[in-house]
Structure 1
Amino acid sequence: MNMELGFYTFGDIHPDPNTGIGITPGQAIRDVLERTRLAEEVGLDYVGIGEHHREDYSISSPSTVISAALAQTERIHVGSAVTVLSTEDPVRVYQQFSTMDQFSNGRVELLAGRGSFIESYPLFGAELGDYDALYDEKIQLLLALDSGEPVTWSGKFRAPLEDVVVLPRPADIPGRGAHLNIAVATGGNSRSSVRAGMLGLPVNYAIIGGEPAQFAPLAQLYRQAHEQAGHPAEKRTVTVSAMGFVAEENARDFWFPYWYESMRVISAERGFPAPSRMSFEQTAGPRGAYFVGNPDEVAAKIVHVHEAIGNDRLILQMDLSGVPQKESLKAIELLGTEVKPRIERALAK
Structure 2
Amino acid sequence: MELGIGMFGDVHINEKTGYIQTPQQRMAEIIEEVKLMDELGLDFFGIGEHHRQDYAVSSPEIVLAALSTVTKNIKLGSAVSVISSSDPVKLYQDFSTVDNLSNGRVELMAGRGSFIESFPLFGHDLNDYENLFAEKLDLLLNLNTNEIINWQGRFRAPIVNQTVYPRPVQNQIPIWIAVGGTKSSVVRAATLGLPIMFAIIGGNPANFGPLFELYKMIYNENGHDPEKMQIGVHMHSFFGDETEQVAEHYFPTYSAQMNRIGASRGWPKYTKPQFDYGRSNDGHLLVGDVNLAVDKILKMHDLFGLTRFSAHMDVGAPNHLDMMKSIEVYGKDIAPKVKIALK
TM over 0.5: yes
Aligned to 2:325: 330
SS of structure 2 residue aligned to 1:126: coil
Matched, 1:242 2:238: no
Matches within 5 A, 1:132-151: 132-151=130-149
Q: Which string of whole-angstrom CA distances, capped at 9 and with x for unpartnered residues, describes residues 205-257 of structure 1?
A: 11110111222221221122222222223431011111010010211101101
Q: Which string of whole-angstrom CA distances, capped at 9 and with x for unpartnered residues, describes residues 180-214 of structure 1?
A: 11011111212111111111110011111011122
Greater CA drift, 211-220 or 327-336: 211-220
How much identity, in percent, do the aligned residues show? 43
SS of structure 1 residue aligned to 2:11: coil
Q: Count how many residue pairs are aligned between Structure 1 and Structure 2.
A: 341
Q: Which string of whole-angstrom CA distances, capped at 9 and with x for unpartnered residues, describes residues 155-174 of structure 1?
A: 111111011222222214xx
Q: Which string of whole-angstrom CA distances, capped at 9 and with x for unpartnered residues, describes residues 87-138 of structure 1?
A: 0000001101111112322211100001110000000001100000000000
Aligned to 2:157: 159
Counterpart residue identity of residue 39, structure 1? M
Matches within 5 A, 1:112-151: 112-151=110-149
Aligned to 1:92: 90
User: Aligned partners of 2:235 and 2:114: how far apart in 1?
Assistant: 14
1:20 is displaced (CA, Å) by: 5.7
User: Aligned partners of 2:37 and 2:19: how far apart in 1?
Assistant: 26
Runs of 5+ in structure 2 lacking a partner?
none
Aligned to 1:214: 207
- Is residue 43–residue 74 contact of structure 2 (8 Å, CA) maintained in 1? yes
Matched, 1:194 2:184: no
User: Aligned partners of 1:282 and 1:347: how far apart in 2?
Assistant: 27
Q: Which string of whole-angstrom CA distances, capped at 9 and with x for unpartnered residues, describes residues 25-81 of structure 1?
A: 111001001110000111211111111111111111111001111111110001001
Matches within 5 A, 1:38-49: 38-49=36-47
- Is residue 17–residue 257 contact of structure 1 (8 Å, CA) maintained in 2? no
Runs of 5+ in structure 1 lacking a partner?
173-177
User: Aligned partners of 2:313 and 2:248: how far apart in 1?
Assistant: 14
1:17 is displaced (CA, Å) by: 4.7
Aligned to 1:77: 75
- Is residue 12–residue 318 contact of structure 2 (8 Å, CA) maintained in 1? no
Q: Which string of whole-angstrom CA distances, capped at 9 and with x for unpartnered residues, describes residues 270-320 of structure 1?
A: 011221001110111111000011011111111111110111111112222
User: Aligned partners of 2:90 and 2:228: how far apart in 1?
Assistant: 25
User: Aligned partners of 2:135 and 2:88: how far apart in 1?
Assistant: 10
Aligned to 1:264: 259
Greater CA drift, 255-264 or 18-27: 18-27
Give the TM-score normalised by structure 1: 0.94
Match 2:29 to one of 28, 31, 34:
31
Aligned to 2:312: 317
Moved over 4 A (4+): 17-21
User: Aligned partners of 1:103 and 1:31: how far apart in 2?
Assistant: 21
SS of structure 1 residue aligned to 2:29: helix
1:346 is displaced (CA, Å) by: 2.1
Aligned to 1:171: 169
User: Aligned partners of 2:213 and 2:162: how far apart in 1?
Assistant: 37
1:19 is displaced (CA, Å) by: 7.3
User: Aligned partners of 1:21 and 1:161: how far apart in 2?
Assistant: 47
Counterpart residue identity of residue 99, structure 1? T
Matched, 1:254 2:249: yes
Matched, 1:9 2:4: no
Greater CA drift, 207-216 or 51-60: 207-216
